Amino acid sequence: MSSSPSSSSSPPPTSGDSPPSNLPLKKIPGDYGLPFLGPIRDRYDYFYNQGKDKFFQSRIQKYNSTIFRTNMPPGPFIARNPNVIAVLDAVSFPVLFDTTKVQKKNVFEGTFFPSTAFTGGHRVCAYLDPSEPNHAVFKGWFLSLLAARHNKFIPLLQNSLSHLFTNVEAELSKKGKADFNTLSDNASFSYVFRLFCDRDPSDTRIGSDGSNLLSKWLFFQLAPLFTLGLKYLPNFLEDLLLHTFRLPFFPVKSGYKKLYEGFYTSASKILDEAEKLGMKRDEACHNLLYMSGFNSYAGMKVMFPDLIKWMATAGESLHRRLANEIRTVVKSEGGVTYSALAKMSLVKSVVYEALRIDPPVPFQYGHAKTDMVIHSHDAAFEIKKGEMIFGYQPCATKDGRVFENPEEFVGDRFVGDGEKLLKYVYWSNGRETDDPTTENKQCPAKDMVVLLGRVLLVEFFLRYDTLTAEVGTLLLGSSVTITSLSKAESTA
């Protein structure tokens, strides 16, 4: 049943984005319904009756509040407690980044914790709270790995993108259209493996199966959060198959073993360093595979098609501006360098806008470590220690009180004075203006992800003037089928 905090003349410490101190303290609206039945009701609304966005927007309108109580899927029987307090505006959302106020233990993917069978029997870094000693050990290792490979980011990606665009052109010439997602996934896995293992996956047991193996591994872990959207599959049957019981590990066991052995044998130097830092070699390898497969590959799997989708729908005017900026700067700088990328203000803005409007990881969770008061734009609400706080990032990053025309993709939104709005771009489990550290849960590859998005745009517009595409949705991100490419004159 619903339980609500009571008002106090001396409320706990506040958390939020510098809200006014005189906001009224209100009871959190909403309820959880009857045990068992309430979570199932909300699950059906979320997946079938309303869909994600309408699920949240309808409750915002119903309660006239961006903070309310609800249940989040999957609920029974996968999640022991689906009750959450939703924070869906730009002011309240950052409480989820404050690890002095929220605990992040075992809540990376939601109200349920997938079996450790998917990660070799280990709780990998993503599921550790910063208060746990191993968190600093593994995240510090990740940050050092990325720093050591800093000079490889651009040339390796240029090589991968060259193969990607060659394959896109070949498929477009042969079939009249090209499935960007599949080709991008293959290029993304090859890039990540070569970055950390210094060899091509085709030279290992993994062969050309890497992206498929990882995609299946991801699906079996994240299935409770998906709907397949198949018209011939009744909702109740899909709900029973995906959201009621966990999918077992054994169908992807052999594939995961192949991936693990590929990393274990190819990343020996990295794993040697891990052992010197006191880590067990096998645990370090499972963490490296998770960072490479879930944090890096899955991020690229979502972000690259999203960027191309927004390019395809933005129109030729933005294409011309991007092409002009990119070609002018690359010519003056003598190539695609960090210095050149830093001077491309429109390119940077377009990547930030894509991350704002389509954050790759849309959900954040955390248990309140203490009694606290959080704020929306208009009111204050008390949260009790132990309650689960949940945020749906697209609501916060499309907050109309912060962003003008929030549902619209505006390529130059963050150019000039617009850079001041970057502190409200929350795609990386932190603000865009913050940096990942061992003390927080911000994505260790946050800056690398932004860089990869910029390089994708640069390499595209060095080759092409414009494109058209058919776009749709997938379980993870957008589907993009390229229907035409117009080559730049210098490459035609």
Instruction: Return the pLDDT at 302.
Output: 95
Collapsed DSSP state (helix, strand, coil) of residue 129 = coil
pLDDT(2) > 50: no
pLDDT tier for residue 1 given thresholds of 50, 70 and 90: very low
* C-beta of residue 109 within 8 angstroms of C-beta of residue 222: yes
Instruction: Return the pLDDT at 235.
Output: 96
Alpha helices in 242-297 (DSSP H): 250-266, 268-276, 281-290
Per residue in 286-312, pLDDT (tens digit) is 999 999 999 899 999 999 999 999 999
Instruction: Return the pLDDT at 54.
Output: 98
pLDDT(20) > 90: no
Instruction: Return the pLDDT at 109.
Output: 84
Instruction: Return the pLDDT at 29.
Output: 98
CA nearest to 110, candidates 216, 16, 222: 222
Alpha helices in 336-419 (DSSP H): 338-342, 345-357, 393-397
| Torsion, Cα of 405, 411, 415, 421 (10° steps) | 40
Per residue in 430-464, pLDDT (tens digit) is 999 999 999 999 999 999 999 999 999 999 999 99
pLDDT(393) > 50: yes
290 pairs with which residues across the strands?
Answer: none
Distance CA 361, CA 309 (A): 17
Distance CA 99, CA 321 (A): 41
pLDDT(21) > 80: no
| Joined tokens for residue 271 | 């794993």
Per residue in 160-187, pLDDT (tens digit) is 999 999 999 999 999 999 999 999 999 9
Percent of the chain with pLDDT strictly greater than 90: 92
Instruction: Return the pLDDT at 231.
Output: 86
Distance CA 188, CA 435 (A): 24
pLDDT tier for residue 491 given thresholds of 50, 70 and 90: low
Q: Sign of torsion, CA 377 361 342 330? A: negative
Per residue in 39-86, pLDDT (tens digit) is 999 999 999 999 999 999 999 999 999 999 999 999 999 999 999 999
Instruction: Return the pLDDT at 13.
Output: 44
Average pLDDT over residues 471-482: 93
* C-beta of residue 441 within 8 angstroms of C-beta of residue 429: yes
Instruction: Return the pLDDT at 293.
Output: 94
Return mean pLDDT, the chain: 94
Interhelix angle 250-266/268-276, rounded to 10 degrees, is 80
Distance CA 154, CA 65 (A): 44
Instruction: Return the pLDDT at 12.
Output: 43
